[in-house]
Amino acid sequence: MGEKAIRILLVEDNSDDALLLRRMLKEGPSDQFELVHVDRLDAALKRLNEPVFDVVLLDLSLPDSRGLETFRKLHDQTTTVPVVVLTGLDDETTAITAAKEGAQDYVVKGQFNRGLLVRAMRYAIERKRAEMELANYARQLRQKNQQMQSDLDLAREVQLALLPQQFPTFPHGVAPKDSALTFCGRYEPAATLGGDYYDVFPLSNSAAGVLICDVMGHGVRAGLLTAMIRALMEELTAPATGVAADPGRLLTQINRGLTVILKQAGTTLFVTAFYLVADVARGQLRYANAGHPSPLHVRRDLKTVELLGEDNESGPALGLLENAVFKTFEQPMSAGDLAMLFTDGLFEAEGSSGEIFGEKRLREAVQKYLHLPMNGLFDALLAEVRQFAQQRGLADDVCMVGMEVARVG
């Protein structure tokens, strides 16, 4: 058995041209082509309701339609059947335009033989088949991308839900305005899923834990790692463990948990983190650093902005060295003090010239807005960083969490 015959719809009002085409196609095997001839566009549109044709040979100049409108009307009705335009020398420019708008090919009457016509039809059928397959792949890809985006949007909502929805008060149960410690947070991921995370939680009626961390990279892996850190934190901050009161011990335990998980997963990721404990009863800050930018210690009464733990040793990032041990450092705190923790996305924003905003400029900006309440201070800082970045935007996640001391003792 040979190949299935190619079904051709010939739309041609010139009977001599139609007869010539029919004779030309009969020169080969008798079962190679099946030709149906109509001489009006309206008749062609009716026949195309029958999904049996493999290709259309279309004359653009018909009694009921002329020029590009002929092709456009036919193409609008059936985008799945390839069209080869038949044209005279004086209409070749129009035929080229039709090809640009979706016709698979064109041939000039009087300038083609059987071989050229057959080749044009076969190529048209193959190109249309490839075009339809590509369109189908593109449609499937769009659907998968839409599903992936939907999944990412849901993951983003979950990730944001992991952040503190309201801050604790000290002692527990008092109104926020009467709390010995007040808090403020900002989180702006650069992508759908970010790698920054912060948490604030009570350790007692007079002590709070504040954690901030920055996972290498963005996207799903970074988002998953922040969820792992949240899970480890929930386990380690349980009152029975007593781990969370000692920042160095807490980071040591988180690091061990992460390195085990990452080793089992066969991947390399790391997380910088800073963990701070504010103890109102003792008037004391305790903290440990895992390769994270040093927070700012703002003393409103002295009008100073200093780096917290600038002279202290920072441990390695979490997730790299399984047996790393992190040290706990201590520092007095007073009423009016503000501890401001942040990720490097805040000061690594690039200006139009490629210059980095930098930690020095950040400290100067905090000094400038020192008179503002904590929420206003954070808003002013973000506005200044955005203004500096201008059209470049914030290329990295930005996370900020602040803790202000109303009273001690």
Instruction: Give me the DSSP letters along 102-134.
Output: T--EEEETTS--HHHHHHHHHHHHHHHHHHHHH
Judged against a pLDDT cut of 50, whether residue 1 lies above it is answered with: no
Q: What pairing do the DSSP bridges indicate for beta strands 329-332 and 337-342?
A: unpaired
Give Cβ neighbours of residue 150 (< 8 Å, ≥ 6 apart).
none
Give the mean pLDDT of 241-264: 90
Report pTM. Answer: 0.70
Q: What whole-number distance in Å separates Cα of residue 302 and Cα of residue 367?
A: 11
Residue 155 confidence (pLDDT) above 90: no
* CB-CB contact of 181 with 403 (8 Å): yes
What value does the mean pLDDT take over residues 152-178? 84
For residues 273 and 252, give the distance between their C-alpha atoms in angstroms, rounded to a whole number.
11
Phi, psi of 300 (to 5 degrees): -65, -35
Amino acid at 161: A
CA distance 102 to 94: 13
The dihedral through the CA atoms of 366, 372, 378, 384 has a sign that is negative
Between 315 and 148, the higher pLDDT residue: 315
Contact between 111 and 90 (Cβ < 8 Å): no
The CA-atom distances, in angstroms, between 179 and each of 52, 204, 205 are 79, 13, 10
pLDDT at position 391, please?
64
Pull the structure tokens for residue 273.
Answer: 């983190």
Token pair in block for residue 368 = 């400038």
Q: Do 40 and 63 touch, CB atoms closer than 8 A?
A: yes
Residues 6+ apart with CB under 8 A from 118: 25, 28
293-335: pLDDT as tens digits = 999 999 998 999 999 987 888 999 999 898 999 999 999 999 9
* Average pLDDT of every residue of the chain: 89
Residue-wise pLDDT tens digits, 52-65: 899 999 999 999 99
Structural domains in the chain, CATH included, are: 6-135 (3.40.50.2300), 163-405 (3.60.40.10)
pLDDT tens digit string along 327-364? Answer: 999 999 999 999 999 999 899 988 888 889 999 999 99
% of the chain residues with pLDDT over 70 = 96
Q: What is the DSSP letter of 26?
A: T
pLDDT at 192 over 70: no
User: 37-41, 70-74, 213-217: lowest mean pLDDT where?
Assistant: 213-217
Angle, helix 114-162 to helix 219-236, in steps of 10 degrees? 20
Share of the chain above pLDDT 90, in %: 57
Q: How confident is the model at residue 122 (pLDDT cuts 50, 70, 90)?
A: very high
User: What per-residue confidence (pLDDT) applies to 240?
Assistant: 66
367-392 mean pLDDT: 90
Determine contact, residues 325/248, Cβ cutoff 8 Å. Answer: yes
Closest CA to 206 of 43, 408, 380, 63: 408
Q: How far apart are CA 17 and CA 14, in angstroms?
A: 5
Q: Give residue 36's pLDDT.
A: 94
